Amino acid sequence: MPKPSLSPWMVPLAAACAQAFLSQPQAPWTLGPGLAFLGWALWKFPGQDRVSRPLSGRTEILLFLGVLLLGLLFRTHRLEDLPLGLPADQGFMGLCALRVLQEGWGPFPAIYHTQVPDLFPPLALSAWFRFVDPSLLGFRLFFTGLSLASFPFLYWTFRQLSGPRMALLSLFLFCVMRWEWVLARNGQPALETVFFLSSSLAFFLHGLGRKSLPFLSLGALIAGAGFYAYPALKVLPLLLVILAWRELARNPSFPRKALAAPFLVLLLACLPRVADLALHSLPERESRAFLGTALLEKGSLSPLLSVWGGTALMFNRSGDPSPWYNVDGRRMLDDGTGILFLLGLAWAWRRRKGPQGFPAFAGLSVMALPGLLSTDPAASHRLAGMTPFVAYLAAGAGLSLWDSLSPKKGKGPPLALGAALLLAIALQNAWVFFHLQAPSPAYREASSPTPVLLARQIVGDEKEGPNRQRYWVSPGLWAHPTLSFLTYPMEIGRLDLSEWMGRSRPQDKDAVLFVEGDKRGTPGFLTGLFPGSRLSVERDEKGRPILFKVEVPREVLSKAPAWGRGLKGDYRGTGKSAVVRTDPLIDLSGLRDFPPPQRPPFHVRWTGTLEAPAMGEYLFHLLSSDKATLWLDGRPIAPEDPVRLVRGPHALKVEFEKEEGYYPALHLIWKRPGAEAWEVVPASAFGKPPQ
pLDDT tens readout for residues 490-518:
999 999 999 899 877 888 899 999 999 99
Residue among 184, 557, 493, 177 nearest 333 (CA)? 177
CA 496 to chain centre: 30
Co-location of 248 and 182 in the same domain: yes
In sequence order, what E strands does 517-626 have? 534-539, 545-552, 567-572, 577-583, 587-588, 602-612, 616-623
Co-location of 540 and 584 in the same domain: no
496, 460 Cβ separation under 8 angstroms: no
- Over residues 195-199, mean pLDDT: 98
pLDDT tens track for 451-478? 999 999 999 999 998 989 999 999 999 9
Co-location of 614 and 495 in the same domain: no
Q: How confident is the model at residue 405 (pLDDT cuts 50, 70, 90)?
A: confident
| Single-letter residue type at 507 | Q
Query: Is a pLDDT exceeding 70 seen at residue 107?
Result: yes
Rounded to whole angstroms, how far apart are CA atoms 147 and 156?
15
Co-location of 631 and 518 in the same domain: no
User: Could you tell me if residue 45 is inside a domain?
Assistant: no
360 exposed, middle or buried (CB, 10 Å; 0-12, 13-18, 19+)?
A: buried
Rounded to whole angstroms, how far apart are CA atoms 666 and 10?
60
Predicted local confidence at residue 1, as pLDDT: 36
Dihedral pair phi/psi, residue 350, rounded to 5° = -70, -10
Dihedral pair phi/psi, residue 643, rounded to 5° = -125, 125
Percent of the chain at pLDDT above 70?
96
Per residue, the 3-state secondary structure of 78-94, as one string, reads: CCCCCCCCCCHHHHHHH
- Over residues 436-460, mean pLDDT: 95
- Long-range contact set of residues 257-261: C-beta below 8 Å, sequence gap at least 24: 258/211, 258/213, 258/216, 259/216, 261/213, 261/216, 261/217
pLDDT tens track for 241-254? 999 999 999 888 88
- Over residues 421-447, mean pLDDT: 96
User: Could you tell me if residue 659 is inside a domain?
Assistant: yes
Query: Is a pLDDT exceeding 60 seen at residue 419?
Result: yes
CA angle, 438 as apex, 70 and 141 as ends, to 5°? 50
User: Could you tell me if residue 39 is inside a domain?
Assistant: no
Query: Is a pLDDT exceeding 90 seen at residue 5?
Result: no
Our count of domains for the chain comes to 3
Predicted local confidence at residue 577, as pLDDT: 64
Query: Is a pLDDT exceeding 60 seen at residue 410?
Result: no
What is the signed CA dihedral for 677, 679, 683, 685, rounded to 10 degrees? 40
3-state secondary structure of 664: coil
User: Could you tell me if residue 327 is inside a domain?
Assistant: no
Rounded to whole angstroms, how far apart are CA atoms 391 and 374?
23
Last residue of a domain, one of 503, 525, 559: 559
Average pLDDT of the chain to the nearest whole number: 92
23, 342 Cβ separation under 8 angstroms: no
Q: How confident is the model at residue 7 (pLDDT cuts 50, 70, 90)?
A: confident
Co-location of 495 and 604 in the same domain: no
Predicted local confidence at residue 660, as pLDDT: 84
Beta bridge partners of 471: 512
Percent of the chain at pLDDT above 90?
77
| Single-letter residue type at 276 | D
What is the number of residues in the chain? 691
433, 439 Cβ separation under 8 angstroms: no
Q: Lowest mean pLDDT: which of 328-332, 392-396, 470-474, 656-660?
A: 656-660
Q: How confident is the model at residue 542 (pLDDT cuts 50, 70, 90)?
A: confident
Predicted local confidence at residue 661, as pLDDT: 79
Co-location of 414 and 533 in the same domain: no
Q: Lowest mean pLDDT: which of 120-129, 179-188, 244-253?
A: 244-253
Last residue of a domain, one of 531, 559, 587: 559
Q: Lowest mean pLDDT: which of 4-18, 135-149, 399-413, 545-559?
A: 399-413
Co-location of 663 and 524 in the same domain: no
334 exposed, middle or buried (CB, 10 Å; 0-12, 13-18, 19+)?
A: buried
pLDDT tens track for 23-75? 999 999 999 999 999 999 999 888 777 656 678 889 999 999 999 999 999 99
Last residue of a domain, one of 381, 413, 445: 445
Rounded to whole angstroms, how far apart are CA atoms 387 and 175?
10
474, 515 Cβ separation under 8 angstroms: yes
Co-location of 526 and 656 in the same domain: no
Query: Is a pLDDT exceeding 60 seen at residue 227?
Result: yes
Q: Is the peptide bond before 601 cis (omega within 30 degrees of 0)?
A: yes
- Domain extent, residue 554, equals 449-559
Could you count the other beta carbons within 10 Å of the beta carbon of residue 463? 8
Q: Is the peptide bond before 597 cis (omega within 30 degrees of 0)?
A: yes
Query: Is a pLDDT exceeding 60 seen at residue 3?
Result: no
pLDDT tens track for 257-310? 889 999 999 999 999 988 888 887 767 677 778 888 888 888 888 889 999 999
Rounded to whole angstroms, how far apart are CA atoms 640 and 637?
8
**Taking every pair of C-alpha atoms in the chain, what is the biggest distance, in angstroms?**
106
CA angle, 420 as apex, 418 and 423 as ends, to 5°? 110
Co-location of 273 and 193 in the same domain: yes
Residue 328 backbone zone (phi > 0: left; psi -120 to 50: alpha; other: beta): left
Q: How confident is the model at residue 384 (pLDDT cuts 50, 70, 90)?
A: very high
Query: Is a pLDDT exceeding 70 seen at residue 407?
Result: no
Beta-carbon contacts of residue 396 (< 8 Å; ≥ 6 apart): 162, 166, 344, 347, 348, 356, 360
Strand pairing category for 635-637 and 627-632: antiparallel
Co-location of 473 and 575 in the same domain: no
Predicted local confidence at residue 187, as pLDDT: 96
CATH number at residue 636: 3.90.182.10
3-state secondary structure of 275: helix
Q: How confident is the model at residue 541 (pLDDT cuts 50, 70, 90)?
A: confident
Rounded to whole angstroms, how far apart are CA atoms 460 and 236?
45
Dihedral pair phi/psi, residue 342, rounded to 5° = -65, -45
What is the signed CA dihedral for 322, 324, 330, 335, rounded to 10 degrees? -140
Rounded to whole angstroms, how far apart are CA atoms 368 and 384?
9
User: Could you tell me if residue 586 is inside a domain?
Assistant: yes
Co-location of 82 and 175 in the same domain: yes
User: Could you tell me if residue 377 is inside a domain?
Assistant: no
Dihedral pair phi/psi, residue 593, rounded to 5° = -75, -20
447, 85 Cβ separation under 8 angstroms: yes
Q: Residue 682 has what DSSP assignment?
A: P
652's enclosing H/E stretch is: strand 648-658
Co-location of 422 and 471 in the same domain: no
Query: Is a pLDDT exceeding 70 seen at residue 484?
Result: yes
What is the signed CA dihedral for 496, 502, 507, 512, rounded to 10 degrees? 30
